[in-house]
Structure 1
Amino acid sequence: MTSNDLHWDDLRIFLAVARSESLSGAGKILRVDPATVGRRIARLEERMGAPLFAKSPQGYAMTDAGQRLLVHAERAEQALAGALEEVRGQPGTLSGQIRIGAPDGCANYLLPQVCMRIMQDNPDLEVQIVALPRVVNLSRREADMAIAVSPPATGRLLVQKITDYRLHLAAARSYLDHHPPIRALDDLRGHRIIGYIPDMIFDKELDYLHEIGVERVAMASNSVPVQFNWVCQGGGIGVVHDFAIPSGQGIRRILPDLISLTRSFYLIRHADDRRLERLNRFAVALCDGLKAEVQRLEAQS
């Protein structure tokens, strides 16, 4: 096989299958028929002289040869992105599509307004927010960058702290008006508690109730907005982000002098993306915007 036998389009299809681990998933990414993706992968494997994927009912898993090709394919992808950025880029403005992955609390209560302000200054920019109650997988290119509540311990990643944020026990006035008063931690016994489904807590930093000493959760969800809606509707007491409180009606913090939690947001990016000026500039605007928005909303809570 000569260097002329392998083209960017081959690598583009290979990357889509590697990241989605299926022909149908790759077809959605590429907007082509899955059968066409399968034929292209088969031809690529024939030209490479080695199987790139192990096929099974569970999907397409990369072989050792596929893993070796992945390194070079991602480098080619980064080189092409950098070239397009330099050719198309306009000094002082951001354009093109950027996808951000984030836990659903940040994605619902912070990112919409922060990203809207960035886009007002950059009308050619397209932003996609992937809100997931789990860690976003950057290695599969689920997003260009991700926000997390704890820094990853492994991987070739760029990690920077964005800002701290605070959480408190809170409840709706409609709930507090019809239940016994809470003046001490012991008074929480007998009250209905709202929180995460224990076996679906995807990051130890989210295990708020264990830290407080609460053992039983009467109303549970893996979604922060669901928990907050329950609180707003008078369903019970929950640990609430201070930055979410202004979006509710009649939400009151409980025992703020006794129970106050602090967590942090981190921006995580692919290490190879450090050379992409467009993403660097967007990251700066995003971090500055998130820090300012957390401060603004917490001041209102």
Structure 2
Amino acid sequence: MRVFLAVARAESLTGAAPVLRMDPATLARRIGRLERTLGASLFVKSPQGYALTDLGERMRDRAADAETQFNRAIDEGQGASEALTGQIRIGAPDGAANFILPKVCVAIQAANPKLEVQILALPRVVNLSRREADMAVMVSQPVAGRLSVQKITDYQLHLATRRDAPPIRNRDDLRGRPIVGYIPDMIFDKELDYLGDLAAGGVNLASNSVAVQLQMLRHGGVGVVHDFVMPSAPELHQVLRDVFSLRRSFYLVRHSSDRHSDRLTRFSTALMQGMQAEVARLEQRARLTGSTVI
């Protein structure tokens, strides 16, 4: 079941191999043996990867339910006073994944040495129903699915550009400046559509990655930057704060069937507290180090 679920989620042998700590050839043999036992194909195999058949999709859902029940039994056997163990995977947009979660997760793992924490950074919404992750940080609340949602914290965003760029005192000064932002047709969440009418003339330098956008801004242009990112880019400063200021929120989303998991609840509590503290710390540091220009 573990092998089948890992390959189904990764959609390839090479993607599942590191998760299971097995080589792809071993995984291929295990999948082949399972299919021979069933007398039916679970995957359509191609150079692009392993895609589930209709039967495979039904089996994935049943196997994921069985996995949930098994993990719940393990949780019940782990005393609340004991350190966390096992593997926990968090899905997150790459802004949080790059600039917030690493410090937070390192601290949680240091307090729980037998715990393995994985951060899944994706330019799309993480599919918890397919168990791509145990929980996900999202920038808007999902409206469908058997999910539980908790607000983590608010965060702020402002326009930023290089400190040595020509000054920007009003919107007219933005004319002729290359605009940095998301690839318009790859914005996977409406809360990430930051630019509005500022991008009316088009986005000159675009990426689906916050980290790549930051690198672009380091070399020129104007774009929206999270306040908690500013300490990582001392060559940038914020502009037009009085006319352009955004507030967004992070939410922690879990599958509703995990609400009785003591292990995941303890981890999610530590994760939320850590994210709240880290966002506050970085935003305060941005203000104190002069990243802002009022």
TM-score (norm 2): 0.85
Separation in 2 of the partners of 1:25 and 1:109?
25
User: In the TM superposition, what whole-angstrom CA distance separates every residue of 1:150-194 from its partner, at most 9, and x where no partner exists?
Assistant: 22232222222211111000112112xxx2x32222221112222
**1:252 alignment partner in structure 2:** 237
1:243 to 228, 234, 245: 228
The residue that corresponds to 2:250 in the other structure is 265
Could you tell me whether the CA contact under 8 Å between 1:209 and 1:215 is conserved in 2?
A: no
1:222 Cα offset (Å): 1.9
Aligned to 2:273: 288
Distance 2:41 2:272 in 1: 42
Contact residue 147 and residue 267 of structure 1 kept, 8 A: yes
Aligned-partner SS, 2:253:
strand
Check if 1:165 corresponds to 2:165.
Answer: no
1:89 touches 1:95 (CA, 8 Å); kept in 2?
no
Work out which of the residue numbers 164, 170, 190 in structure 2 matches 1:204. Answer: 190
In 1, the alpha carbon distance for the partners of 2:53 and 2:235 equals 56
Deviation (angstroms), 1:64: 4.0
Aligned partner letter, 1:248: A
**Aligned CA distance change for structure 1 residues 47 and 164 (closer, same or farther; 3 Å):** same
- Of 166, 172, 177 in structure 2, the residue corresponding to residue 191 of structure 1 is 177
Secondary structure at the aligned position of 1:275 is classed as: coil
Distance 1:101 1:87 in 2: 26
CA contact (8 A) 1:212 1:259 kept: no
1:32/1:238 CA distance change after superposition, 3 Å: same
**Structure-2 change in CA distance of 1:211 and 1:243 (3 Å):** farther
Matched, 1:16 2:6: yes
Residue 230 of structure 1 corresponds to: 216
Q: Is the 8 A contact 2:64 2:131 kept in 1?
A: no
Which range moves more in the overlay, 87-96 or 68-77? 87-96
Report the Cα distance in structure 2 between the residues aligned to 1:211 and 1:276, rounded to whole angstroms. 45
Aligned length: 286
Q: Equivalents in 2 of 1:126, 1:55: separation in Å?
A: 30
TM-score, L = length of structure 1: 0.83
Alpha-carbon spacing, 1:191–1:52, altered in 2? closer, same or farther (3 Å): closer
Distance in structure 2 (CA, Å) of the matches to 1:221 and 1:64: 34
- How far is the alpha carbon of 1:299 from its aligned partner? 2.3
Match of 1:143 among 129, 133, 146: 133
CA contact (8 A) 2:124 2:188 kept: yes
Asked if residue 68 in structure 1 is aligned to residue 53 in structure 2, the reply is no
Unaligned ranges ≥5, structure 1: 1-10
The range that moved more, 50-59 or 263-272, is 50-59
Find the counterpart in structure 2 of residue 4 from structure 1.
Answer: none
* Deviations 1:115-160, CA, capped at 9 Å, x for gaps: 2332343333222222233322334433221111122232222222
Residue 74 and residue 164 in structure 1: after superposition, are their counterparts in 2 closer, same or farther (change >3 A)? same
CA drift at 1:254: 0.8
Residue 219 (1) aligns with residue 205 (2):
yes
Q: Residue 211 and residue 283 in structure 1: after superposition, are their counterparts in 2 closer, same or farther (change >3 A)?
A: farther
Report which stretch shifted further, 215-224 or 273-282.
215-224
What's the RMSD between the two structures over aligned residues?
2.6
Which shifted more, 57-66 or 283-292?
Answer: 57-66
